A = this chain, B = another copy of it.
Amino acid sequence: MPKAVIYRQYGVPAETVEVEEIAPAKPGLGEVRVNRILAPINPADLNTIEGKYPARYPLPATPGIEGVGTIAELGEGVTSTDLKVGSAVLLPAGLGSWREEVIAKASDLFPVPEGVPYQEAAMIRVNPATAWRMLHDFVAPQPGGWVIQNGGNSGVGRSVIAIAQKIGLKTVSLVRRPELIDELKALGADVVLLDDETAKDKIKESTGGAKILLGLNSVGGESAIRVAGALANGGKVVTFGAMSRQPMKIPTGFLIFKDIQFVGYWMTRWYKNTTVDQHRALFAQLLELAKAGTFQTPVEKIYPVSEVREAITRALQGSRGGKILLGQA
């Protein structure tokens, strides 16, 4: 019998989650039964289980905001030619992707074009989507323009590098470990610098003093101020994470005299405030890029659902070689 991860109350993720068997079910009218192939463990999933994430679901719930599967069985009335038994689909958010099987509304599934690696499809809805939107929604991208980001090695950071290259933007990426410099350059990063007090002068030098108007911040603390300080007057710092867990101490002069704007981005809000057609347009663009090999997301290990506690434990450790996923190990 297929299995699903569930949690009945909020708590320490590796201790709180349980594995249950899914009772056999037939897809109803307009529904589809999907074999889940792969689903990542995202930080937001763990925060949700802890009860610390602003987006909550009625308990008991199954975690997992994204994943990919293949269609196992079509219910009555499912006539879309894109949905056939065996074809790959993106799982909808909200049902929980940390399960081996799911019954979903056919209209909530997005078909994955042939040739897209399952691994990238399983992780398209969060990191590449965040990177794409942040590169487009705050400062209109100009070919040859520059963007600066900290946390260059994160999932979003790598997606930013990949997407920026495709749309003609140049990137400055700040990273915490020297060995990441060559690694990110190999991915197509233009400038990669250590995220320390030497960065300021090096940014100027390596960009030829380019006017940078967009800064992406997922670190906070001093690093966020470094990103802000690299921007030209009128630039925007978009914050979407706080890996350092340090608050941002914003110098007032940045706001008043340099007209730097500090705003936030939350992918969940975008999905909530936009239409299904907009979601589909975004997925189509991102999966096209994935098919072209744009994203090369490193994966450390794929765990079966039955080993979800081990998977969570590993996902919470630093210095991993890549993402942790649930799937057929």
Contacts and interface: CB of A to CB of B under 8 A. Distances in A.
Contacts of A249: 247-249
Interface in A220-264: 220, 239-242, 247-264
List the number of copies, as a whole number.
Answer: 2
A261 B240 CA distance: 13
A256 B266 contact: yes
B256 A252 contact: no
Contacts of A242: 252, 256
A240 to B, nearest CB: 6
A220 B252 contact: yes
A265 B261 contact: no
Given A247-B249, A249-B248, A250-B250, A256 B265 contact: yes
Interface residues of A, number: 27
Ranked nearest first, the 8 interchain pairs of A and B with the lowest CB-CB distance are: A255-B264, A242-B252, A262-B262, A256-B264, A247-B249, A239-B255, A54-B257, A261-B263
30 contacts: A54-B253, A220-B252, A239-B255, A240-B256, A241-B252, A241-B256, A242-B252, A242-B256, A247-B249, A247-B250, A247-B251, A247-B252, A248-B249, A248-B252, A249-B249, A252-B264, A255-B263, A255-B264, A256-B264, A256-B265, A256-B266, A257-B264, A258-B264, A259-B263, A259-B264, A259-B266, A261-B261, A261-B262, A261-B263, A262-B263
